[in-house]
Amino acid sequence: MEQLLTTKLYIPHTRPEIVPRSRLIEKSSDGLHRKVSLISAPAGFGNTTMVTEWVQVMGEATPPTANAWLSLDEGDNDPTRFQTYFIAARNQNNKKAASFGKGALSMLQSPQPPPTETVLTALINKIAAISDRIILVLDDYHLIEAQPIHDALSFLLENIPPQMHLVIATREDPHLPLSHLRARSR
């Protein structure tokens, strides 16, 4: 098992001179009842900055919402690596759930890993058993090109527990069933 780069799991710091995006923060908060928020704009438009600001606001809300962050890179196109980082992100800022995903990690590390849906089903069931709300951010999703990861994320979105909200920050719309999610107001 390769070592994880923990800095990929940190929420970026906001610069003090950023322009407050109150309207976007409010609109993002209004979307929490849905399964996913898609923040898609070209480079330089402040996707990461806006999501960072929103996640910090939600962490300070009453009651606070737990946050998890994963900054993706090209190496995360490997399904096992992607899922391992996904689990690590979920654990990063939640000490109560430090053992979250141990069974799934064991499956991923086995010589013959089971199908992705088997691992994801175990993760989804674990998430469903945790009562705390969580926002999980996948930043720079445009770097993901592997269809197995798009398929895995589609499966997750189809079965995501109500207390979890996924945020995808990207420079282009991802290869996910977005029209299907929009049609169902998700």
* Cβ pair 40, 172 in contact under 8 A: yes
Q: What is the pLDDT of residue 30?
A: 66
Q: What is the pLDDT of residue 51?
A: 82
Q: What is the pLDDT of residue 139?
A: 94
Residue 142 DSSP symbol: G
Instruction: Identify the bridge partners of residue 170 per DSSP, sorted by sequence position.
Output: 40
Q: Report the candidate in 15, 26, 134, 147 with the shortest Cα–Cα distance to residue 86.
A: 134
Q: What is the pLDDT of residue 56?
A: 79
Q: What is the pLDDT of residue 156?
A: 92
CA distance 70 to 103: 20
What global pTM score does this model have? Answer: 0.85
Q: What is the percentage of the chain residues whose pLDDT exceeds 70?
A: 84
Burial of 144 (0-12, 13-18, 19+ CB in 10 A): buried
Q: What is the pLDDT of residue 163?
A: 87
Tokens standing for residue 42: 């070209």
CA distance 104 to 123: 7
The residue ranges of the chain whose pLDDT is under 50 are none
44: left (phi over 0), alpha (psi -120 to 50) or beta: left
* Cβ pair 97, 91 in contact under 8 A: yes
Could you state, in order of their start, the residue ranges of all structural domains in the chain?
8-183
* Cβ pair 82, 2 in contact under 8 A: no
Q: What is the pLDDT of residue 115?
A: 87
CATH topology of domain 8-183: Rossmann fold (3.40.50)
Type of residue at 156: L
